Amino acid sequence: MKKLFLLDGMALAYRAHFALIRSPIFNSKGMNTSAVFGFTATLIDLIQKGAPTHLAIAFDTSAPTERHRLHPEYKANREAMPEDLSIALPYIESIAKGFNIPILKLDGYEADDIIGTIAKSAERDGFDSIYMVTPDKDFGQLVSEKIHMYRPSRKGDGAEIWGIAEILEKWDIQNTQQVIDMLGLCGDSSDNIPGVPGIGPKTAAKLLARYQSVENLLEHTSELKGKQKEQIESHAEQAKLSKVLATINQAVPIDYQWSALALQSPSNEALSALFYELEFRTLGKRLFGDRYQHAGDREAEANFTLSGELSPDAQIKPHATAQEQQAGETAPVAIEENSATLKHLDKTQVRYQLIKEDSNLKSLIQAIERSQCFAFDTETDSLDTQIANLKGIAFVTKKNQGWFLPYKPEHHSVLKALFANPDITKIGHNLKYDLSILQNHGIDVTGTCYDSLIAHALIEPEQRHNLDILAENLLQYKTIPFSEIANLEELPKAKGASKKAKIIDYESIDLSALADYAIEDADITWQLWSLLKPQLEERGQSQIFYKIEMPLLPVLIAMETEGITLCEETLKAIGNSLSSEIDSLKTEIFEIAGEEFNLNSPKQLGIILFEVLALVEKPKKTKTGQYATNEQTLSGLAGKHRIAAAILEYRQLSKLISTYIDALPLAISPKTQRIHTHFTQVQTATGRLSSNQPNLQNIPIRSKNGKAIRKAFIPINKGWKILSADYSQVELRILAALSKDPSMIQAFHDKVDIHASTAARIFQIPIDSVSREQRSTAKMVNFGIPYGISAFGLAQRLGTVSRTEAKELIENYFQQFPTIENYIEEQVERARKEGFVSTLMGRRRYLRDINSSNGSIRAAAERNAINMPIQGTAADLIKIAMIEIQKCFESAQLKSKMLLQVHDELVFDLKPEEEAEVRAILEKEMVGAIQLDCPLEIEIGIGENWLEAH
């Protein structure tokens, strides 16, 4: 049985690169290997599962094609290839050569044409089945009884195989040849094929059902009516051209022999060398078996040789194992590449003890007292600190030595004394969780505490900080998965608890296995801290770690524990009001549309806007061929078409209901009847705190309806108030201080309206002559400059000026504030030389793309170089203030409590009798947290609820 697979090399490489764009894979040399890894994983999976007899990979070349001659704008809308991908392509070709797979390319022809030519030739030459491996839907035109599309899944869980039936169903057509007629009418935004304006897939399918082809349709346009007739007749030539552009050439003059395409054994030596260089441990193990090792595996390195001959069981297996099928990389998936040959727990090399007797517990306490330092990890039955029960604690006092204590009430006094000892240092990973658990069980922790997770986040802010991942990447060690010791299937969920609040049945877990699991985590934490501690000093992060992030931990725990009160009745009333507005908007939208449709369906909405109403002549389309109906598209239409504005309003209100009105009551703890958000210190590269479960930082403030939700947040006690303390224009003040701009600093010293002052300078008019519009424009410029705003971006935000006018505004701004322009240029240049930028306190952000040859990628890095020192300094500022405020509140034994941090704002429960003292503390600690050349100011508001206070 002859079975041919033809791979669209460039399409698969792009897909592999972007599938991991949010969590790319880098090797130790800093190379982004996502595309190579994904492509290779797909290739191995295909060979193992597809069992081809013949195989080839087609690539595009940079040479123009006939399509470019016919339509110079063909594919002109595509962005430049990402630099990381361009670096990866030679490796992808080397991988193909290592597998001894022919690479087919020919100037003047696309990979599509080469695949089409060979697929049809194979069909004529008697191949039993031909598979075109590509995510590109255009290949549907080639599908026949023997030719199929093989579409690798994005999630690595198999592939879709499309035959004739699938193509006809996907396109809603009568035969596969009509794919090119569909593209002729609808166009293809990904290739910049225009099609006929106003004709979408639904309309095109109806037309082709009646007229069969573009040519026949154009011969019968007299039978059409209205706008549709006008559009098709006036764009007849464009429709014909679009069909030609979409037609895959099946007669490419490329030389090949079937014998050359026959599947061959791979060159093990070549592939081993490539995998070694790329650090593909998982794929190396999968391809070569247990004999494959890697340079990163230190203990095995000395015995490793690149052998050209491997045992038969190390060759590519014809069928994947069940485990491989479950984790198989038919598509690239976000896994760590150094997990296959790592060290595992070796019981002969460690001293892990399960404490069963009191004498063992005494030995543990004595060891800790001698060491004066321990790493620990709590074991609980839930990730939700509000409901979790403490089941045990693991302790480690040196590498490979530890104890596990199953928690019992009789241990409470011993543990309380141990954790309260100020002379003993405590180390954890994600320490906030462990400290919260202990606190909830009456065990307060005092003394010095270190968190290896936060340490790593300061050293490598844009990487992942999970314990298991760090163990693999930094210690070359594979930890025990919790799923190995516990059955996580169908765990019960606590009523009213968060989505992470599943209850684990610890009674069913083997105690010895649990001890190994827990001690191993504490052991890894100890080893990570030993490794990361000197790196904090080397990277200049010691002050941030010891003076800001660690002292902030107990503050955040106190805030999370306190929670905030939500008035459900108020929220319900707000929801009812929003629902009424939504109903009115739906009625209005349906009246304009002339029919009812599913407003939440982008497909149906696109048809209404761009086919029924024909709002624009050439509507944009998504990669899937649907009309674009995103916020940017609708915002561009909202000024001219009421229906677009109404849809935007509908979406905004619907989001408020789903995100807040419906969701917030579910977040109320049944235990405290309060909402307890979680603050994260490591989620942003700038150092800003983030809030989740639920996110209380994203409640809208600019819209009337969004602000109304804050009305539902009320004080804990009757007669109390909510107090909001907000830094005034803090990022502008920091920009003025960092740039040392005398004009802006003076304006803040003089307490003038900074936006009016800026407007007066850039428009060169007296400040008392500044209009509301001019002040608004200056405000947008003021807030845009710290984010590296471009003329295009400013024009878009203002909506009332052209790009040229926006460019002039920015130029005028820099003429009036030259030191700010100099500061921005110096920041970017420093980032280019040093590879990072830092805040006033020293927090760093590394910018690996700052010297990229890709303009758009480099520009994004430059914007980060400008903004991070400003936003990061603001983050450091409020963190320092929070630490000092909490100290003052505790020292004065105030009943008022700090509840929330929303970027530049702090929210408090206020006991009215303490107002004067609280105000004085906030004025002193917030304004004086960092000494700047530019004065800081705060605005304090007090009210019956959060809305009134802000």
pLDDT score of 160: 86
Instruction: Estimate the share of the chain in helix, then strand, then coil, as percent rounded to the nearest 5.
Output: 50, 10, 35
Judge if the upstream peptide bond of residue 935 is cis by omega within 30 degrees of 0: no
Which residues partner with 602 through β-bridges?
none
Higher per-residue pLDDT: 859 or 395: 395
For 599-650, what is each residue's pLDDT tens digit?
Answer: 999 889 999 999 999 998 888 887 667 888 998 899 889 888 999 999 999 9
Structure tokens at 339: 């997990």
pLDDT score of 494: 41
pLDDT score of 873: 97
For 473-532, what is each residue's pLDDT tens digit?
Answer: 899 898 998 888 876 554 444 433 444 455 677 778 889 999 999 999 999 999 999 999
Which residues have C-beta within 8 Å of that of residue 689, sequence separation ≥ 6?
Answer: 556, 679, 680, 681, 697, 875, 879, 901, 903
pLDDT score of 286: 77
Alpha-carbon gap, residue 494 to 670, rounded angstroms: 10
Structure tokens at 719: 């007669």
**Element holding 374 (H helix, E strand):** strand 373-380
Which residues partner with 838 through β-bridges?
844
Give the pLDDT band of residue 838 (cuts 50, 70, 90).
very high
pLDDT score of 599: 93
Contact (Cβ atoms closer than 8 angstroms) between residue 721 and residue 912:
yes
Q: Is 343 helix (H, G, I), strand (E, B) or coil?
A: strand
Give the chain's mean pLDDT.
87
pLDDT score of 308: 23
Sign of CA dihedral 45, 50, 55, 61: negative
Higher per-residue pLDDT: 490 or 82: 82
One of 3.40.50.1820, 3.30.420.10, 2.60.260.20, 1.10.10.10 is the CATH number of 351-539, namely 3.30.420.10
pLDDT of 889 over the 90 cut: yes
pLDDT score of 542: 97
Contact (Cβ atoms closer than 8 angstroms) between residue 112 and residue 179:
no
For residue 446, report the phi and psi dihedrals to the nearest 5 degrees.
-125, 170
For 116-157, what is each residue's pLDDT tens digit?
Answer: 999 999 999 999 999 999 988 889 999 999 999 998 865 444
Average of per-residue pLDDT across 183-204? 88
Which residues have C-beta within 8 Å of that of residue 531, sequence separation ≥ 6?
Answer: 474, 475
Q: How far is CA 253 from CA 105, 249, 663, 763, in A?
A: 11, 10, 61, 64
For 49-73, what is each residue's pLDDT tens digit?
Answer: 889 999 999 999 888 899 988 888 8
N residues, the chain: 950
pLDDT of 678 over the 90 cut: yes
Q: For helices 818-834 and 855-891, give the axis angle rounded to 10 degrees.
A: 100
Q: Is 854 helix (H, G, I), strand (E, B) or coil?
A: coil
Contact (Cβ atoms closer than 8 angstroms) between residue 588 and residue 646:
yes
Cβ count near 410 (within 10 Å): 8
Homologous superfamily of domain range 565-673: Taq DNA Polymerase; Chain T, domain 4 (1.20.1060.10)
Alpha-carbon gap, residue 942 to 915, rounded angstroms: 9
Average of per-residue pLDDT across 820-847? 94
pLDDT score of 377: 97
pLDDT of 312 over the 90 cut: no
Q: What's the CATH code, domain 753-867?
A: 1.10.150.20
> Which of 671-685, 745-759, 885-899 holds the top average pLDDT?
885-899
**Element holding 811 (H helix, E strand):** helix 803-816
For residue 59, the one-letter residue type is F
Measured in whole angstroms, how far is the alpha carbon of residue 83 from the centre of its chain?
A: 20
CA 264-266-269 angle, to 5 degrees, is 150
For residue 7, the one-letter residue type is L
For 93-120, what is each residue's pLDDT tens digit?
Answer: 999 999 999 999 999 999 999 999 999 9
Which residues partner with 909 through β-bridges?
722, 897
Cβ count near 351 (within 10 Å): 11
> Which of 271-285, 326-340, 871-885 holds the top average pLDDT?
871-885
Whose CA is closest to 528, among 473, 476, 469, 452?
452
pLDDT of 738 over the 60 cut: yes
Give the pLDDT band of residue 307 (cuts 50, 70, 90).
very low
Match 């590509």 to its residue by tokens. Answer: 134
Structure tokens at 228: 């549709």
pLDDT of 303 over the 90 cut: no
Sheet holding 905-910, edge to edge: 897-902, 905-910, 721-727, 938-943
pLDDT score of 596: 94
Alpha-carbon gap, residue 528 to 450, rounded angstroms: 11
CATH topology of domain 3-164+244-259: Rossmann fold (3.40.50)
pLDDT of 325 over the 80 cut: no
Contact (Cβ atoms closer than 8 angstroms) between residue 617 and residue 197:
yes
Alpha-carbon gap, residue 767 to 775, rounded angstroms: 10
For 357-393, what is each residue's pLDDT tens digit?
Answer: 888 898 899 999 999 999 999 999 988 898 899 999 9
Structure tokens at 522: 């504490």
Contact (Cβ atoms closer than 8 angstroms) between residue 906 and residue 929:
no
Are β-strands 147-152 and 159-162 bridged in parallel, bridged antiparallel, or unpaired?
antiparallel
For residue 616, report the phi and psi dihedrals to the nearest 5 degrees.
-135, 155
For 269-282, what is each residue's pLDDT tens digit?
Answer: 889 889 888 888 77
> Which of 327-336, 620-629, 730-739, 849-858 holds the top average pLDDT?
730-739
Alpha-carbon gap, residue 243 to 217, rounded angstroms: 13
Sign of CA dihedral 81, 85, 89, 90: positive
* Alpha helical stretches, state H, 487-630: 511-538, 542-543, 550-562, 568-593, 602-607
Average of per-residue pLDDT across 182-205? 89
* Alpha helical stretches, state H, 71-110: 83-98
**Element holding 151 (H helix, E strand):** strand 147-152
Contact (Cβ atoms closer than 8 angstroms) between residue 722 and residue 943:
yes
pTM (whole model) above 0.75:
no
DSSP state, residue 79: P
Alpha-carbon gap, residue 920 to 255, rounded angstroms: 84
Average of per-residue pLDDT across 454-460? 95
Give the pLDDT band of residue 284 (cuts 50, 70, 90).
confident
Are β-strands 565-566 and 678-680 bridged in parallel, bridged antiparallel, or unpaired?
unpaired
- Least confidently predicted of 543-557, 790-804, 914-928: 790-804
Q: Would you list the domain boundaries of the chain?
A: 3-164+244-259, 351-539, 565-673, 753-867
pLDDT of 800 over the 50 cut: yes
- Least confidently predicted of 54-58, 456-460, 473-477, 817-821: 473-477
